[in-house]
Chain A
């Protein structure tokens, strides 16, 4: 139900103002990138992008297009601020996280501009909560410079096939090794843990494989602790695209369908692990 209560009038226009009937459309996506406390929000006319980074090696982005919102207006070209993602999520889910059919939390979000807090108005069942979250100077974000022309190998898989694999990854292994090749083993995920090594092979003709474009054999290792949070995005998604470029940078793009059938995206970028020792295969 559209939120009708008016925020305190200030007479001025807000740099960012948005309304969302179902706050879960936002909160579930943000949870998929919540592996650090802070996030950088960028609002443009096309929508909202929330970025989380760690160790200068990994970056996750959650995209919520303007079309998902019932109302979305950005005054300047873009509005950017840093905010505590943990607090934001706590506020968005202030009425609880269980999703009973029929009930939803309505959200109105207002941001005055630089230096002002982010205001959230949440309503469920007639109860209104007002939250003010302080914003900070946005950090400089990593630019992985990952464009489609630089992609060497690309695979699109149905998430169903990877979910269990990621959930059961041997966390005693420091790295996750990803091999993509036009020849066998085509697509392989490997871990090297205390018990020994484990390899998960997906053949190119598998039913799970929606697209397979590998031109070169590449084997790259990534710190498993950095990639493990992507499991949350994987769990929500229906499809995932896995791409690597010439330097071994990894791009994981997750297509997520929300409760209303709308499509959103989450992506993870990761640098390959530099300190690699001889692989134990």
Chain B
């Protein structure tokens, strides 16, 4: 979880203790649900009709600091007690170690809203299940600094993993000349043209896996997704260590990819945004019960516009999102950040220029302008951005 975000969200529920994290750009979310059976004792506390079960978030570093040295912990710690004391504003972690020594940590926490990503593994068109070791061995071929990787279903049922490089020259030129991206924002001047990096100069690594190496394959042919490798690696090392098979649920580019690990006492989900495909022609919005609002032009700020479904009081309202009052970053800085971070050659890019790499919002589509139809991309809006756009 620490590979994803800086804060650890703890949410005790009836079905277990959920530990969650989200990354700063809201394009990655992970949750670990530990069933009550995982624990020797599990008391989530009582939730009255008015109140909900208490939840909080703590700094990841503070929490991890307690479990600093794993090998010594395994040797010396007998059991760990976790207590949430709302009135004292403390999360208590007590480690019972050998020789009768007790280590008690009282961590300060912050109250928080429920952190929940909207996703549905059932609605994904493709599913792959593989032992974690297979994927770990595959991923080891890519440099540790690699940001994104593309998973592709190829001919003969083979699955490939390829490091993601800049789009082809033609692609980037095409986007640069695109129409003005945002409503309410004056159209940016035409971007300073410069030659995109030559694909032939980038090292490309591609790895093919045969269908029979997977435990189960149910994929739509010719599909592909590109997602952030760094965040995935975190989950992969956990899966390898716990020897659990990893299931990948994905759909079209732009739709989030969901990685799951299932065990009798543990359920893990990692949801990552995927790169939207510029070449994708208009698809009909997928029907998973969310609102269908017409989508404006494809190089809209559906990029790092990620709206968390911070369900404040309306639980499970994934179908009908509440009015957006959740804290968000304005898409504009998100875009420029994405640009600066991943496309160093684009120093001259004018903020507001649609970057030609776009990560689809994880949970929601782009900011909507009703009445502005355009080539529909597969993006549904589940909530509108309250800041900066209207």
Which positions in A face B, CB cutoff 8 Å?
161, 164-165, 168, 170, 194-203, 205-208, 281
Query: With contacts defined as CB atoms under 8 Å apart, how many contacts are there between chain A and chain B in the complex?
Result: 60
> Cα distance A41–B107 when bound, in Å?
45
User: Closest 9 A-B residue pairs measured CB to CB?
Assistant: A195-B62, A206-B100, A196-B107, A201-B102, A199-B104, A203-B100, A197-B106, A196-B106, A206-B99
Among B99, B104, B107, contact of A195 (Cβ-Cβ < 8 Å)? B107
Report yes or no: B103 in contact with A208, Cβ–Cβ below 8 A.
Answer: no
Q: Closest CB-CB distance, B208 to chain A, in whole Å?
A: 46
Report yes or no: B62 in contact with A194, Cβ–Cβ below 8 A.
Answer: yes
Report yes or no: A195 in contact with B72, Cβ–Cβ below 8 A.
Answer: no
B372 is an interface residue with CB less than 8 A from chain A:
no
* Further 4 A-B residue pairs, CB within 8 A, beyond A164-B72, A195-B58: A170-B65, A195-B61, A196-B91, A200-B104
B105 is an interface residue with CB less than 8 A from chain A:
yes
Q: Closest CB-CB distance, B93 to chain A, in whole Å?
A: 9
> Cα distance A195–B65 when bound, in Å?
9
* Residue in B closest to A158 when the chains form the complex, CB atoms: B99
Contacts A/B (CB < 8 Å), 21 sampled = A161-B99, A164-B69, A164-B72, A164-B76, A170-B65, A195-B107, A196-B106, A196-B107, A197-B105, A198-B105, A199-B103, A199-B105, A200-B103, A200-B104, A201-B102, A202-B99, A202-B101, A203-B100, A205-B100, A206-B101, A208-B99
Among A161, A165, A195, A206, contact of B108 (Cβ-Cβ < 8 Å)? A195
Q: Closest CB-CB distance, B70 to chain A, in whole Å?
A: 13
> Cα distance A161–B76 when bound, in Å?
10
B152 is an interface residue with CB less than 8 A from chain A:
no
* Residue in A closest to B61 when the chains form the complex, CB atoms: A195
B68 is an interface residue with CB less than 8 A from chain A:
yes
Q: Closest CB-CB distance, B6 to chain A, in whole Å?
A: 13
> Cα distance A206–B62 when bound, in Å?
28
Q: Closest CB-CB distance, A240 to chain B, in whole Å?
A: 14
Contacts of B76 in A (CB 8 A): 164
> Cα distance A201–B107 when bound, in Å?
17
Q: Mask for B84-114, Cβ within 8 A of A = 1, else 0? A: 0000001100000001111111111000000
> Cα distance A139–B213 when bound, in Å?
75
> Cα distance A198–B105 when bound, in Å?
4
Report yes or no: A200 in contact with B107, Cβ–Cβ below 8 A.
Answer: no
Report yes or no: A207 in contact with B99, Cβ–Cβ below 8 A.
Answer: yes
Which one of B76, B90, B101, B108 has the greatest number of beta carbons of chain A within 10 Å? B101
Q: Closest CB-CB distance, A118 to chain B, in whole Å?
A: 41
Report yes or no: B106 in contact with A200, Cβ–Cβ below 8 A.
Answer: no
B176 is an interface residue with CB less than 8 A from chain A:
no
> Cα distance A194–B105 when bound, in Å?
12
Q: Closest CB-CB distance, A175 to chain B, in whole Å?
A: 15
Q: Mask for B66-89, Cβ within 8 A of A = 1, else 0? A: 101100100010000000000000
> Cα distance A76–B61 when bound, in Å?
58
Contacts of A164 in B (CB 8 A): 69, 72, 76
* Residue in A closest to B63 when the chains form the complex, CB atoms: A195
Report yes or no: B104 in contact with A198, Cβ–Cβ below 8 A.
Answer: yes
Contacts of B108 in A (CB 8 A): 195-196
B3 is an interface residue with CB less than 8 A from chain A:
no
Contacts of B105 in A (CB 8 A): 195-199
Report yes or no: A195 in contact with B100, Cβ–Cβ below 8 A.
Answer: no
> Cα distance A200–B90 when bound, in Å?
17
B59 is an interface residue with CB less than 8 A from chain A:
yes
> Cα distance A170–B66 when bound, in Å?
10
Report yes or no: B100 in contact with A196, Cβ–Cβ below 8 A.
Answer: no
Contacts of B106 in A (CB 8 A): 196-199, 281
Among B62, B69, B99, B103, contact of A196 (Cβ-Cβ < 8 Å)? B62
Among B65, B68, B102, contact of A200 (Cβ-Cβ < 8 Å)? B102
* Residue in B closest to A200 when the chains form the complex, CB atoms: B103
Contacts of A170 in B (CB 8 A): 65
Contacts of B103 in A (CB 8 A): 165, 198-201
Report yes or no: B101 in contact with A161, Cβ–Cβ below 8 A.
Answer: yes
> Cα distance A281–B106 when bound, in Å?
8
Among A201, A203, A206, A208, contact of B104 (Cβ-Cβ < 8 Å)? A201
> Cα distance A205–B101 when bound, in Å?
10
> Cα distance A281–B89 when bound, in Å?
12
Contacts of A196 in B (CB 8 A): 62, 90-91, 105-108
Contacts of A201 in B (CB 8 A): 101-104
* Residue in B closest to A162 when the chains form the complex, CB atoms: B101
Q: Closest CB-CB distance, A165 to chain B, in whole Å?
A: 8
> Cα distance A226–B66 when bound, in Å?
23
> Cα distance A203–B103 when bound, in Å?
12
> Cα distance A238–B108 when bound, in Å?
36
* Residue in A closest to B90 when the chains form the complex, CB atoms: A196
